[in-house]
Chains A and B, each alone.
Chain A
Amino acid sequence: MSAGLILLVVILIALAGFFLGRRRAMVSVGGDPRKLHSLPGYYGQTVFIFAAAPALLLFAVWALLQPLYVENRVSGLIDPADIAEGSSLSLVMADVRRIGDGIDFLVLNSGQSETDIASMDAAEVDVRKLLAGVGVALGSDVNRSVFEAAKAFRGTNQTLHIVRAAVVILASLASSLFAYSRLTPEYRARNVTEAAIKALLIMCSTVAILTTVGIVFSLVFETFHFFQMYPAKDFFFNFVWNPQFRGGSDLGILPLLWGTLYVSFIALLFAVPIGLMAAIYTAEYASPMVRSFVKPAIEVLAGIPTIVYGLFALVTVGPLLRDYFAQPLGLGNSSSSVMTAGVVMGIMLIPFVSSLSDDVINAVPQSMRDGSAAIGATHSETVRKVILPAALPGIVGAILLAASRAIGETMIVVLGAGAAAKISANPFEAMTTITVKIVSQLTGDTEFASPETLVAFALGLSLFVVTLGLNIVALIIVRKYREQYE
């Protein structure tokens, strides 16, 4: 019985339970809902929840445990001698799974009966060719023990699927009958349903925590693998980044870190003054008319996807900087450069800096402006000497948030900064960043379990730690500042 069908049956049972439960409640008071503790619908909902929730929970747990159990059982059947040199048990198990799926196709498409399959012997029949005929390509010939394991894999799975269907549906029926039997006019059905709904709400709110746990878990786990293959000291202190296909790579983070920081620095150098001045002008000087045009226009910049900025860097800004700055100044002739990525990223960050600073500036109490004006300061003096110092913690927080954005930004640097890992002071040279290398190492053709691929997880962890640190510092600064005026 397929998963979808089981779910459908469970839902049907639950729906039936809803109507029966509501009817039972109504019948028990002779059709007068005032004598019930809760509204009649709640009695139905109680049965519904009892029918669906335990069954679905059971189904989910089953779905997690079944592969583990089957894998464990079947891998014992494989003859250790059949694991080819350079291969591993997990690779052979992948083959077993594919052969198992292939037999399903064989039964469906080529008219082989189950008994044919059961009596088929890998020593006599060319299973690889047979499976290729139904579109399942295998990397190597099929050994006898592997084929037997595949048959066992398939058989166990089929049996377990039948058991699963029976167990889940029985659980649903049993628990709905239990709930149904307890329905009396005094039964507090509303409290029960509301408790269940509240549990659901709490579960949903933990998704955020699960996500964080998932991120940390996946990063730390694979980074640990990486450091088993490649020394951590070399990763953090090597000045060379030079991955090789055949091992012996130099995987130092320093050149990537340099590129990341250099690009982010230029981006902030561009974005902070412009964003800040734009925010000051819109908050302090602009008429409402002008503000109603300028603010949305700047905010549009924040809504544009980064891939658009990336292409802008690649097609327009890169060649422009190369032809009018880099080549005349003799600083290089590469269109992808730190400068290209930095400037375009700066444009992307303008709305970030400006809208955050705008909020902070507006939060400065009007009385401080009035006081400053009353002792004869000009408007700009008020801004520079009174408002900015008062808003400074918030502005610093905004800049830190922008910096964390810049460090984690991917598409602009992938398309604008280049791929050469080097440490140089020339901003018109192509350099590369942590995010670029995460993309290139994880989308490449190297084997997953090699240090060249796993280094991406170590890079990701470094990135995660740095951005998280910046965010937390920014948050602390902003919070502290807020307390001053409220």
Chain B
Amino acid sequence: MTDLNTSGAAPGPRPKISLMVQDARTKKRNAAERRFRMYGIIAIGIAVLALVSLLTSVVANGSSAFRQTFITMDIYLDPAVLDKKGTGSIEDITKVSTFGYAPLIRSAFETVFEKDNIGVDGLAPKDAADLISPEGSAQLRRYVLANPEEIGDTVSFDFLAGGRIDGYYKGRVTMASAELDSNVSPSQLKLADQLKDAGVLRTKFNLDFLTNADASENRPEAAGLGVAILGSLYMMMVVLVLALPIGVAASIYLEEFAPKNRWTDIIEVNIANLAAVPSIVFGILGLAIFINFAGLPKSAPIVGGLVLTLMTLPTIIIATRASLKSVPPSIRSAALGIGASKMQTVFHHVLPLALPGILTGTIIGLAQALGETAPLLLIGMVAFVRDFPGAPPEGLFDPAAALPVQVYNWTQRADPAFVERAQGAIITLLVFLLIMNTVAIILRRRFERRW
């Protein structure tokens, strides 16, 4: 405060202080400042690193699910096998079981061996035919039943290679691991390599992954997401049809009409709490109320949709209220001033202006609902479903799967090929979420007005 030396004693030599030279304490404080800043950068680094490694892990492990190894074969549809009586009637052809088609594939392999002069010693044609997925005979049978007139012809087919063969070309199976594996032998892998050189075996883009139904435990190569995508789509339809009108109506009441009293206070606290209730509790609610009490079918998209609606409502209500709040009171006053009723003011003027915000909130709520897994497990969506649900509205009551539940389902299976499928399903899920969020951002950027 002052330079005066009040003690009256002779002033001793003053310590030399310069702003140009930092003393020890300042150095310490500055170092603390730098450290603190560094902590912040490290924290952000960890968060970003986590995001990057999460996404890389998914993409690196999952992108191969969209590629699949196929074996192209010319199959002679032998009348002696498929139509023993020679009547050509569809009943007789239907009698030949899937198992009965295996010899056709076997003999096709023999033809290939002779023509291209390949083959591995000690590998019988039957073992060679195991290169093809068990789905192959079923595929053949479906084709013959659809085109019975082609019996006797030679037709070219793209068969899925077995899961282990496919894994060999994706690095999941090696010669060493095949040695220990009862499902595949090293000589089969050698044969696969020869077939690849001959151009019979190829790895190519596999759109069937997105359209096929789920497949059983021992044929991961045929498993697809079709039923799951359709089921998720149905549930999103239910959520949109129910949650948007109910949510908007509830928000309009709370924001524009509700008197400030105990009742509306209870509603508001309720909505805030529902937003924070663990999702699995909603699953219990669905099981107890919709399935056990109301008697709706298990695994049905309608039940999933209802549960997700209840979960999404708080999100939509909160977004809608924020959006209604941001419409300036001058709009309301102007409308009331020229004689509109309160209801007309809200529906003719406030709501249209709040619409972009409401839609953005709705899309974000839908995106949340799309990724939700836990409640769907409890209402039985985890069941193995092979059949596509019918068209809505009846189809809403058919059993179906859902995208995130399909991921969980596949992780619970023994064959590691299913983990690749699960990662592929996650890529699909993330792409859907990305599209929805992008649409939400575009909506907000283009239509939201700042007052």
Q: Using a CB-CB cutoff of 8 Å, which residues 148-196 of chain A contact chain B?
A: 190, 194
3 nearest A-B pairs in the assembled complex, by CB-CB distance:
A408-B278, A305-B371, A281-B40
Q: Which of B42, B267, B289, B373 contacts A277 (CB 8 A)?
A: B42
Asked if A411 contacts B378 (CB within 8 A), the reply is no
Known: A281-B40, A297-B47, A311-B422. A414 touches B408 (CB 8 A): yes
Asked if B250 contacts A471 (CB within 8 A), the reply is no
Interface of chain B: mostly helix, strand, loop or mixed: helix
Closest to A293 in B: B48
Closest to B280 in A: A410
Asked if A281 contacts B44 (CB within 8 A), the reply is yes
Docked CA distance A415–B422 (Å):
13
Q: Which residues does chain B contribute within 8 Å of A379, judged by CB atoms? A: 33, 36
Counting chain A CB atoms within 10 Å of each CB, which of B51, B271, B284, B419 scores highest?
B284
Q: Which residues does chain A contribute within 8 Å of B288, judged by CB atoms? A: 218-219, 221-222, 457
Q: Which of A312, A351, A408 contacts B280 (CB 8 A)?
A: A408
Asked if B404 contacts A274 (CB within 8 A), the reply is no
Asked if A218 contacts B404 (CB within 8 A), the reply is no
Interface of chain A: mostly helix, strand, loop or mixed: helix
A136 within 8 Å of B (CB atoms): no
B29 within 8 Å of A (CB atoms): yes
Nearest CB of A to B151, in Å? 32
Asked if B48 contacts A401 (CB within 8 A), the reply is no
Interface segment, one of B12-20, B54-62, B87-95, B329-337: B54-62
A303 within 8 Å of B (CB atoms): yes
Docked CA distance A219–B280 (Å):
12
Counting chain B CB atoms within 10 Å of each CB, which of A190, A380, A456, A472 scores highest?
A380
A321 within 8 Å of B (CB atoms): no
Nearest CB of B to A217, in Å? 8
Closest to B253 in A: A201
Docked CA distance A401–B411 (Å):
30
What would 10 A/B residue contacts be, using CB atoms closer than 8 Å?
A: A201-B250, A207-B246, A212-B270, A215-B285, A219-B284, A281-B40, A435-B280, A442-B378, A456-B284, A468-B273
B143 within 8 Å of A (CB atoms): no
Q: Which residues does chain B contribute within 8 Å of A430, judged by CB atoms? A: none
Asked if B343 contacts A471 (CB within 8 A), the reply is no
Closest to B252 in A: A201
Asked if A198 contacts B404 (CB within 8 A), the reply is no
Q: Which of A194, A310, A314, A380 contacts B32 (CB 8 A)?
A: A380
Docked CA distance A297–B44 (Å):
10
Known: A211-B310, A307-B408, A411-B373. A315 touches B267 (CB 8 A): no
Known: A208-B270, A277-B40, A380-B36. A460 touches B280 (CB 8 A): yes
When each residue 350-386 of chain B gets 1 if its CB lies under 8 Å from chain A and 0 otherwise, what string results? 0000000000000000010011111001101010000
Q: Which residues does chain A contribute within 8 Å of B254, judged by CB atoms? A: 205
Asked if B285 contacts A208 (CB within 8 A), the reply is no
Closest to B369 in A: A305
Q: Using a CB-CB cutoff of 8 Å, which residues 323-380 of chain A contact chain B?
A: 347, 350-351, 354, 378-380
Q: Which of A212, A401, A435 contacts B374 (CB 8 A)?
A: A435
Interface size on B, residues (CB 8 A): 85
Q: Using a CB-CB cutoff of 8 Å, which residues 430-449 of chain B contact chain A?
A: 430, 433, 437
Q: Using a CB-CB cutoff of 8 Å, which residues 265-310 of chain B contact chain A?
A: 266-267, 270-274, 276-285, 287-289, 292-293, 295, 310
Q: Which residues does chain A contribute within 8 Å of B408, judged by CB atoms? A: 307, 310, 411, 414-415
Asked if B281 contacts A439 (CB within 8 A), the reply is no
Closest to A200 in B: B249
When each residue 387-420 of chain B gets 1 if its CB lies under 8 Å from chain A and 0 otherwise, what string results? 0000000000000000010011001000000010
Q: Which residues does chain B contribute within 8 Å of A408, judged by CB atoms? A: 277-281
Counting chain A CB atoms within 10 Å of each CB, which of B50, B53, B280 scores highest?
B280
Known: A208-B314, A307-B404. A314 touches B411 (CB 8 A): yes
Asked if A311 contacts B272 (CB within 8 A), the reply is no
Q: Which of B266, B313, B419 contacts A211 (CB 8 A)?
A: B313
Q: Which residues does chain A contribute within 8 Å of B367, judged by CB atoms? A: 303
Asked if B278 contacts A463 (CB within 8 A), the reply is yes
Nearest CB of B to A420, in Å? 16
Asked if A212 contacts B273 (CB within 8 A), the reply is yes
A269 within 8 Å of B (CB atoms): no
Asked if A201 contacts B249 (CB within 8 A), the reply is yes
Docked CA distance A300–B411 (Å):
24
Docked CA distance A442–B44 (Å):
40
Docked CA distance A282–B47 (Å):
13
Q: Which residues does chain A contribute within 8 Å of B374, judged by CB atoms? A: 306, 410-411, 414, 435, 439
Docked CA distance A281–B426 (Å):
32
Docked CA distance A298–B42 (Å):
14
Nearest CB of B to A38, in Å? 9
Known: A204-B246, A415-B411. A315 touches B57 (CB 8 A): yes
Asked if B289 contacts A205 (CB within 8 A), the reply is no
Q: Which residues does chain B contribute within 8 Å of A381, judged by CB atoms? A: 29, 32-33
Q: Which residues does chain B contribute within 8 Å of A432, judged by CB atoms? A: none
When each residue 5-48 of chain B gets 1 if its CB lies under 8 Å from chain A and 0 otherwise, what string results? 00000000000000000000000011011011101111110111
Docked CA distance A312–B411 (Å):
11
Known: A218-B284, A312-B54, A378-B29. A208 touches B271 (CB 8 A): yes
Closest to A271 in B: B47
A131 within 8 Å of B (CB atoms): no
